A and B are shown apart, each in its own frame.
Chain A
């Protein structure tokens, strides 16, 4: 790791406890996780508990003309079968606007829409009962082409409000300027799934006060609570949610899945109800990454300066809104990439269709845009006869740059630096070309498709930009309660927040913050629940910044009352609760102008690939990356985010796609939705920069998302270099490399 600038972290010279900020602290939940004792949401159990299951629409667009739950209720062991009419209060829910029925309202708008829920004494009983529910359908044509959805001539409407969820316009300068070199391109991004390993699950327990206690895996306890309470018709203090162990999230747990259903069944039956989705159901049970159609026109001077970019991006939001408006905001505002462009015209649409609902996934709009603009940058470089890295360096944004939104960057923006670092990293050795190659080093691996025949090496580069924290004027805050007392003669601290630990390690980081701020070694992180104020979502790479910031502020408040921790006596308690906000952002005006984002983060990747050009199979040989994280809070944790994020980007480049045909998912399983294995992920070289953001706690920058953004286009660029193919759609398939059928089925 390198640190070109030593930030003023604001940590003064008090005795730092070991294992503070910057140290390699191991996870407090690590031992429980390696021994199998950590309680995930699917591991919960209660006496006399029932199992819930969900009946879903097999059709992407259909009316329900008859629904008879009688035969299901007659199955021995069944305790409840509930439908739309049984939803106690508000019938719809949603993150930005409540437009999604808790249970089907008579029209199913996507395949997999929940129609009825069943509680029974065994999961098999519940499944058999669900299969006996009588449903008659009047199947309608689905609207599945997002281009059709924005066409004003289209009469078919997914919702009466129209098909356009958001159309964001950004205008900067004058894009009618002429340019020496003009490159236009159309690109397409397939639907990626978060594919967390721990399926949607949880346990709802009815409480004596008429409320409900819900133990669930989620990313944001308080918005879950608010949506559940509204639909159950309960005051929010009667819906108590505790975070159960979370088996990964990556955006897929921002929206509700089984939360309201399990609570309805529990309140109806008076018994605890557990729901666990199968892998197949999980593909229908959460939103995916928006598929995107991108059209770009870039103009540059002969010398290689970007003069203008015009772009049109269409994001398919599927049947319900979820977080589509915010994804549109990101794709548009980050849509030209980390470059200085004087003239920008951007139109970005998020639309309703009858495809699977799409929402948050790591990278959130920035991923789709980066595939478009980085593909364009390579093509422009080729047109100009410039090296792709040189061309990017000529146009790299930096501190004081002006974004297409007019926002002036007032913190380091080391785009050129991360590019230089990946381009100067040592190259991996050439492929050994002996008579007895190790198949595991070759495209196809032990499947024995080549012994070197047809294998061509390619190298590609990309750089990306991501906003950190919530944007466009959103009141983004986190709450932390820090309590200090004496136990067994020693000062101890406990921290209570609602920050969702989803694997990223916020529980480790909070311990480190308290040790650094208070000099107390022994720090306990209390379970995250709704008994403390909101921490905001575990998304947008924001929890280190926001809940790290809130805990730091709470520690500072404690210290203001207790300057000397050693003065604390047995029985004394000092407790402070702080609600902490980042600098305010502003909404975008009608020309897309405004200080929409609070922080940007940057990463670059270099990909080296071996491609069997005859068979279209790819082996990624190595990924090199450089990323600015402002301040390394935990070296192992930072690296873990970078490796893992890069792997998800590799998946999108080469294999991951929820294949949707006429609104129906064709591959809802881990047999056919492929995520990278350990044989697909190459060794990585990682270079971490620490260019402090003076506005952020400790100078840190969100780490989680940038690696997912630049790894994809870098790998695609490398495959293009090896094959000479245009490759304008991701994931790349062998068919695209070999020219054997551009689309499937």
Chain B
């Protein structure tokens, strides 16, 4: 089947999609956007988190056809005018990235959290990121990164 979506602000159309494919597969293998990661493909790890009509979801659990006509934003579309967004920047600085396989999903989930809750408590951060598994960092430097990003966003957005 054919699937037409808007991805990172661009209209994208792909052909010959098998109906059982996930949005994740379409992004990674048909649209050349492998940033969203394929760690579990069962919604347990959050590595494939993307915005679907501005709501963070696991792209592995969205059937390709369900993305028809929708707007998707992936980690590749998170930067602002080719600059890292504050969450991305903070992740690099705070050591929140090791192997980095969980990072794209975490960055999207953290970006969403700070949009909703600009000054989250640690408990808020933990509950919001509980769906993003990381095997390298023990999460401590991810918490540091989110706190840092919150501070920086507060300075930019009055």
User: In their complex, do chains A and B touch, with some C-beta pair under 8 Å?
Assistant: yes
Instruction: Say whether A643 contacts B126, CB under 8 Å.
Output: no
CB–CB A438/B123 < 8 A: yes
Contact status B127-A446, CB under 8 Å? yes
Contacting pair B39 A198 (CB below 8 A): yes
Asked if B66 is at the interface of the complex by the 8 Å CB criterion, the answer is: no
Residues of B within 8 A of A644 (CB): 98, 135-138
Can you name the residue of chain A whose Cβ is closest to the Cβ of B92?
A30
Is A671's beta carbon under 8 Å from chain B? yes
Contact A647 B75 (CB under 8 A): no
In the complex where A26-B92, A197-B45, A670-B44 touch, is A248 in contact with B138 (Cβ < 8 A)?
A: no
Check if A36 sits within 8 Å of B29, measured CB to CB: no
Separation of A48 and B133 alpha carbons in the complex (Å): 34
Tell me the chain A residues, 605-657 only, with Cβ under 8 Å from chain B.
636-637, 639-640, 642-648
B158 within 8 A of A: no
Known contacts A30-B97, A677-B130; A36/B44 CB under 8 A? no
Beyond A197-B135, A245-B100, A279-B40, list 13 extra A-B contacts (CB 8 Å): A26-B92, A34-B75, A34-B84, A34-B100, A36-B104, A39-B34, A42-B37, A124-B21, A250-B135, A440-B123, A446-B127, A644-B135, A681-B139
Q: Assess whether A670 is in contact with B45, with CB atoms less than 8 Å apart.
A: yes
Question: Using a Cβ cutoff of 8 Å, how many contacts connect chains A and B?
Answer: 182
Q: Are A33 and B100 in contact (CB under 8 A)?
A: yes
B34, B37, B88, B140: most-surrounded residue (chain A CB, <10 A): B140
Chain A's nearest CB lies how many Å from the CB of B108? 10
How far is B29's CA from A122's CA once the two chains are assembled, in angstroms? Answer: 10
Pairwise interchain contact A643-B88, C-beta atoms closer than 8 A: no
Partner of A643 from the list B29, B32, B100, B137 (CB cut-off 8 Å) is: B137
Q: Which residue of B lies closest to A40 (CB)?
A: B101
Asked whether, in the complex, the Cβ of A669 is within 8 Å of the Cβ of B42, the reply is: yes
Within 8 A of A (CB), among B71-90: 74-76, 78-79, 84, 88-89
Are B136 and A248 interface neighbours, CB within 8 A?
yes
Question: CA separation between A675 and B135, bound complex, in Å?
Answer: 8
CB distance from A432 to the nearest CB of B (A): 12
Chain B residues within an 8 Å CB radius of A636: 94-95, 141
Q: Taking the nearest CB of chain A, how far is it from the CB of B82, in angstroms?
A: 10
Is residue B143 within 8 Å, beta carbon to beta carbon, of the partner chain? yes
Query: Is A36's CB under 8 angstroms from B36's CB?
Result: yes
| B131 / chain A contacts, CB cutoff of 8 Å | 677
B101 to chain A, nearest CB (A): 3
CB neighbours of A34 from chain B (8 A):
75, 84, 88-89, 91-92, 97, 100, 103-104, 107
A101 to B143, CA, bound (A): 45
Taking the complex as formed, is B153 at the interface, i.e. its CB lies under 8 A from any CB of chain A? no
B103 near A33: Cβ-Cβ < 8 Å: yes
Q: How far is the CA of A197 from the CA of B99 in the complex (A)?
A: 9
A150 within 8 A of B: no
Minimum distance in angstroms from B104 CB to a CB of chain A: 5
Taking a contact as CB atoms under 8 Å apart, the answer to whether B38 and A37 are in contact is no
Assess whether B23 is interfacial by the CB under 8 Å rule.
Answer: no
| Chain A residues with CB below 8 A from B18, complex form | 122, 124
B56 in contact (CB, < 8 A): no
B7 cross-chain contacts in A, Cβ below 8 A:
none
Binary contact track A186-209/B, C-beta < 8 Å → 1, others 0: 000000001111110000000000
Chain B binding surface SS class: loop
A679 to B123, CA, bound (A): 8
Which residues of chain B are within 8 angstroms of A124 by Cβ–Cβ distance?
A: 18, 20-21
Give every chain A residue within 8 A of B76 (Cβ-Cβ).
Answer: 35-37
B75's contact among A36, A45, A640, by CB below 8 Å, is which? A36
Q: Is A146 an interface residue (CB 8 A)?
A: no
Q: Is A684 an interface residue (CB 8 A)?
A: yes
B33 CB-CB contact with A under 8 Å: yes
Closest to A669 in B: B42
User: A644–B95 Cα gap in the complex (Å)?
Assistant: 12
Do B42 and A670 have beta carbons less than 8 Å apart? yes
* Chain A hits for B44, CB < 8 A: 669-671
CA A669 to CA B60, docked complex, whole Å: 15
Whether A8 sits at the interface, judged by CB under 8 Å, is no
Q: Counting CB contacts under 8 A, is B5 at the interface?
A: no
A70 at the interface (CB under 8 A from B): no
Known: A27-B97, A34-B84, A36-B104. A640 touches B136 (CB 8 A): yes
Let me know if B132 and A43 touch, CB within 8 A. no
Check A38–B140 contact: CB distance below 8 A.
no
A31: interface (CB < 8 Å): yes
The prevalent SS among residues of A at the interface is loop
Question: Is B140 touching A43 in the complex (CB atoms < 8 A)?
Answer: no
Knowing A31-B84, A36-B76, A670-B133 touch, does A247 contact B101 (C-beta < 8 A)?
A: yes
A40 CA / B36 CA spacing, docked (Å)? 11
The closest CB in chain B to the CB of A438 belongs to B123
A512 to chain B, nearest CB (A): 14
What residues of chain A have their CB less than 8 Å away from a CB belonging to chain B? 26-27, 29-31, 33-40, 42-43, 45, 122, 124, 194-199, 245-250, 276, 278-279, 438, 440-441, 446, 502-505, 636-637, 639-640, 642-648, 669-671, 675, 677-679, 681, 683-684
Q: Which residues on B sit within 8 Å (CB–CB) of A36?
A: 33-36, 74-76, 104
- Knowing A34-B84, A640-B98 are in contact, say whether A279-B104 is a contact too (CB < 8 A): no
User: Which B residues have a C-beta under 8 Å from some C-beta of A?
Assistant: 18, 20-21, 28-29, 32-42, 44-45, 47, 74-76, 78-79, 84, 88-89, 91-95, 97-104, 107, 122-123, 125-127, 129-143
In the complex with contacts A36-B36, A199-B39, A440-B127, A505-B98 CB distance below 8 A: yes
Interface pair B42/A504, CB less than 8 Å apart: no
26 contacts between A and B (CB under 8 A): A27-B97, A30-B91, A31-B92, A33-B92, A35-B88, A36-B33, A36-B36, A40-B101, A124-B20, A196-B135, A197-B99, A197-B101, A198-B101, A247-B37, A247-B101, A278-B41, A440-B123, A505-B98, A639-B140, A640-B98, A640-B138, A644-B98, A647-B138, A670-B133, A684-B138, A684-B140
User: What residue in chain B is nearest A684 (Cβ atoms)?
Assistant: B140
B89: A residues at CB distance < 8 A? 34
Enumerate chain A residues within 8 angstroms of B102, measured Cβ to Cβ: 197
- Which of A30, A195, A684 interacts with B135 by CB under 8 Å? A195
Which residues from chain B contact A45 at a C-beta distance below 8 Å?
29, 32, 34
Question: Which of A33, A39, A250, A671 sits near B97, CB closer than 8 Å?
Answer: A33
- Chain B residues with CB under 8 Å of A276's CB are 38
**B47 to A678, Cβ gap below 8 A?**
no
Contact (Cβ within 8 A) B141 A640: yes
Could you tell me the distance between the alpha carbons of A106 and B76 in the complex, rounded to whole angstroms?
Answer: 47
B72 to chain A, nearest CB (A): 13
Complex CA gap A199/B39 in Å reads: 6
Contact A639 B95 (CB under 8 A): yes
Partner of A197, one of B32, B37, B42, B92: B37
Chain A residues positioned under 8 Å from B92 (CB to CB):
26-27, 30-31, 33-34
Chain A CB within 10 Å — which of B20, B39, B129 has the most?
B39
A640 near B95 with CB under 8 A, answer: yes
Inside 8 A of B100's CB, which chain A residues have their CB?
A: 29-30, 33-34, 38, 245, 247, 503
Residues of A within 8 A of B137 (CB): 640, 643-644, 647
Given A34-B84, A199-B38, A671-B42, A248-B130 contact (CB < 8 Å): no
The residue in B38, B130, B134 that gathers the most chain A C-beta atoms within 10 A of its C-beta is B38
Q: How far is the CB of B157 from chain A (nearest CB, A)?
A: 20
- In the bound assembly, the distance between CA atoms of A535 and B29 in angstroms comes to 33
Contacts of B94 in A (CB 8 A): 636
